[in-house]
Amino acid sequence: MTETQAKKILVIDDEAHIRLVIEVKLKNRGYQVITAKNGQEGLELIYSQKPDAVVTDINMPLLEGDELCRLTDKLKKKRPFLTVVITARISPQDRAWVKEMRDTQLMEKPFSPSKLVKCIDDYFERQSS
């Protein structure tokens, strides 16, 4: 079992095709992947499944991605994990709050799935060194 196979990634996006593209790319890299179709479902999975990284959209039903990040930021004090925020519309305000969050990075849509995987790989490499 490689280092990446032990890592669990949660993908939260209300668009099924985006979830699928990310899921396939991460599974091909050897990660375990769980998915959620909205922020509320994602939040529940963060608490129950304790993923090592979370990939989330900002604009979603039930719970927006920025609120999800604020709610989970406190968790990162006890259990650090990476959050990659993906969004099509990036405002200066979004850039500002993302910078305030622990272990959180921003990626604009359209994004490169390969760059997303590299971002996650790099995070785990930094954690293990």
Q: Where are the domains positioned within the chain? A: 4-122
In this predicted model, what pLDDT tens digit does every residue of 52-100 receive, in sequence order?
A: 999 999 888 899 988 999 999 989 989 999 999 998 877 777 778 888 8
Q: What amino acid occupies position 18? A: I
Q: Which fold has domain 4-122?
A: Rossmann fold (3.40.50)
Beta bridge partners, 9, equal 33, 53
Q: Is the pLDDT of residue 4 over 70?
A: no
Q: Mean pLDDT across the stretch 100-125? A: 91
Tokens matching residue 49: 């499944």
The predicted pLDDT at position 109 comes to 81
**Alpha-carbon separation of residue 110 from 47, 53, 80, 90, 99 (angstroms):** 29, 20, 27, 12, 21
Q: Name the strand (E) or helix (H) holding 101.
A: none
Task: Give CA–CA dist 67/63, Å, rounded.
Answer: 7
Q: Mean pLDDT across the stretch 92-110? A: 85
The predicted pLDDT at position 89 comes to 76
Q: Mean pLDDT across the stretch 15-33? A: 95
Residues 6+ apart with CB under 8 A from 49: 8, 10, 34
